Structure formats: C-alpha cells, structure tokens
Amino acid sequence: MAPKLQVAVAGLGRMGARHALNFHNRTPRAELVAAFTPVQKEVDWAHVHLEGVTIYTDYDEMLKHPGLQAVVVATVTTAHAEEAIKGIEAGKHVLCEKPLSTSVEISQSVVDAALKKPQLKVMCGFSRRFDASYRDAFNRMDNGGIGRPSVFRSQTCDKLDPSGFFVAYAEFSGGIFVDCNIHDIDLALWFFGQDSIVKSVVAAGITAVQPELRKHKDVDNGVGIVEFWGGKIAYFYSSRMMAAGQHDMTEIIGTDGKLAVNANPSGTLVELHELTGVRREIPHDYYGRFENAFVTEANEFTAACLDNNKLPFKLSGAVQAVKIGCALQESLNSGQKINFDETGRRLESVKL
C-alpha cells in the first residue's frame, strides 16, 4: 500500500476542526496523525472525532511527532506566520490558512523562510482557488472565452451575526479588507495574473450595524477600488450584515464577454413556492458555500507533497494580497487614495 502523507493540524477551532476532519476522513492519500490545540474543549472534541490522532497542547511538541511530513496551520491569524515558519524550519510541508499575517512584513517572512527550503510545499489556503466554479471560470477566461480580462468585481459578504462576535474579532483580523476581501484580492491576482502591479488603491466604508468596530479601525461594509498598471481595474465589496446568508460573488469582465460566478446564490436546488412568493435559501456561511473546495484543497496539497508536484499557485501571491488588503484598509482609515509607480513602489501622498 502506498504510504500516506503524515499530516498534523494546528488549531482545532471552527476552521481547524474542519481541516482536521477533511484530512482525517476525506483525503485518501493523507493520514492525520497529530493535532495541536491549547484549548481543553477542543482537545475533548478531538478525542471523540479524531480517533487515532495524537493530540498535543504544545505546537513545538507536535512538530516532533514521529514521521510527521506536513502541517496545516489553522490557528488564530496572529499565530499563522510563526507557526508556519517553525513548520518550515522543521522540514514540514505547510498549508497555512489565510492570511499569512495581517502585516506585509511578517507575511513576507514566511515566504523568505520557504525560499530557504525549496523542496517543501508551502501554500496559503486560498480556498476559492480550489472551487469548481472559480476553476471553471478561470479556464473559460484562459481559453479566450471573454477576450482580454479588464474589470474584476468581487465581493465577500457574510451573514449578519448579531452576537457582536465581529467586534472582538476585528481587534486582530486586520480589518475587513484583509480578512474578507483577501479572497477577492487573491482572485483578482489569479485572474489578472499573479504579477499584476498595483497602480492605486482607494477605499471607503461604514459601520451600519456595529459602530463599535470603529475602535478597531474597522467597518462592517467596505468598498474599494484597485487600479492595476496595464489598464485593469478591480473593485471589491465586503459586508458583515447580509440578512439572507453568506454571498460571495465575482464577475470577470473582458473585452469579448463576462463571466459571473455565483451571481444567483442558492443553497440546495430546492425552491419553495408559498404564499409570499418563490423562495430559496442560501448558505449561512462560507463553509456552506466552499466545503467541497476545502476538501479539494486538502487532496491537492497532499498530492503535491507526495508526488512533488507544483502547487497550483505561488506563496508570494499571498504577500501581494495582504499588501493590497492593508493598503485598502489604510485608505479606508485615512480617507486618502494611495498611489504606486509602475514598479509597484508607493508614491508619497500629500496629506490634506
């Protein structure tokens, strides 16, 4: 029997638990051998759901798990970079949840660490890259289906969570452009080309439902425009107050056509005709929309590690995405448009 990739997952919170289950149950070529969490409740959960997996409460100890080959970093964002680097330095392949960090410099340090170990597979978990619909759209564009892609619109809009969770979360999330739109930014870089150079960034936002977000310099609705050198524009919307559920969507507009991804959100294929009209429900959260993409991610990461295949996208793009996200967040807060020259170097803006 072919050897399976020996995988550990760091973090067993909401997303970490999903990664752990996906590697445990839905990734035939991987074997989840270890998991790390400092949280007792998560340890208890793991004993029930991750049978046969060694649970560590110390990340460094977990890295020493015998035979371990790969680590999935799915802890809080603030720990991503340090744990990813430790994993790399310990000679493990690393799949790190997005963003690498909310800081451009720290994100870059992960890339630098990875560059020193070129034999390792180090990937940032941009799940939409593994979504069948986005891939379908990309292939159609890549095959010339819409001419030259020119305008890119993308949104990540979360269902309103009235618990106020997002206020506490905003302290470390990096802000709505770094936390939510990072996916849309990454998609723009995918569709426009990973090496696209930003020309300007401008953003605006409001706190429509959670004014407390302002203390963390964040908003619950944000709009941003990113110009790229070479005649391309991306614009983004993110929101924390959708009533009906999570709704991401993307349009890629080319000189000969347009691709729309999830313009018509739906959950199952059921429509209910009732007294008030025709109704359909949509997923409550991004996992309801992207569950299959996460499974594909786990399987493809595993295959790349085992077979020494190229990863589907470069780690350095994750730094570029954070850079754009941070610039949007800065523009949101300063009220200033930020400009860059054709080499991507920031131009000094004059304060009003």
Q: Which of residues 134-153 bind a second copy (CB under 8 A)?
A: 136-137, 140, 145-146, 148, 150-151, 153
Residue 324 interacts with a second copy (CB under 8 A): yes or no: no
13 vs 145, beta carbon nearer a second copy: 145
Q: Which residues contact 108 (CB under 8 A, 6 or more apart)?
A: 319
25 vs 38, beta carbon nearer a second copy: 25
Least separation, in Å, of the C-beta of 85 and a second copy? 32
With CB under 8 A as the contact rule, the residue among 253, 287, 311, 314 that binds a second copy is 253
Residue 256 interacts with a second copy (CB under 8 A): yes or no: yes
Least separation, in Å, of the C-beta of 68 and a second copy? 18
Both structure tokens of 76: 């809080």
Cis before 99 (ω within 30): yes
Contact 32, 50 (CB under 8 A): yes
Least separation, in Å, of the C-beta of 292 and a second copy? 8
Contact 202, 219 (CB under 8 A): no
Residue 261 interacts with a second copy (CB under 8 A): yes or no: yes
Q: Which of residues 12-31 bind a second copy (CB under 8 A)?
A: 24-26, 28
Q: How many residues bind a second copy (CB under 8 A)?
A: 81
Q: What does the alpha-carbon distance between residue 29 and residue 35 come to, in Å, rounded to a whole number?
A: 18
Least separation, in Å, of the C-beta of 328 and a second copy? 12
Q: What does the alpha-carbon distance between residue 80 and residue 284 come to, in Å, rounded to a whole number?
A: 26
With CB under 8 A as the contact rule, the residue among 80, 129, 183, 232 that binds a second copy is 232
38 vs 231, beta carbon nearer a second copy: 231
Residue 269 interacts with a second copy (CB under 8 A): yes or no: yes
DSSP string, 208-260: SS-GGGGGGT--SEEEEEEEETTTEEEEEEEEEEESS--EEEEEEEESS-EEE
Q: Which of residues 197-226 bind a second copy (CB under 8 A)?
A: 200, 202, 204-209, 221, 223, 225
Residue 244 interacts with a second copy (CB under 8 A): yes or no: yes
59 vs 190, beta carbon nearer a second copy: 190
Strand partners, 159: 242
The angle that helices 104-115 and 77-89 make with each other, rounded to 10 degrees, is: 20
Phi/psi zone of residue 287: left (φ > 0), alpha (ψ -120 to 50 degrees), beta? alpha
Residue 48 interacts with a second copy (CB under 8 A): yes or no: no
DSSP element (H, E) containing 155: strand 149-159
With CB under 8 A as the contact rule, the residue among 276, 308, 310, 342 that binds a second copy is 276
What single-letter DSSP state applies at residue 129?
A: G
Residue 168 interacts with a second copy (CB under 8 A): yes or no: no
Least separation, in Å, of the C-beta of 96 and a second copy? 25
Residue 241 interacts with a second copy (CB under 8 A): yes or no: yes
Contact 4, 31 (CB under 8 A): yes
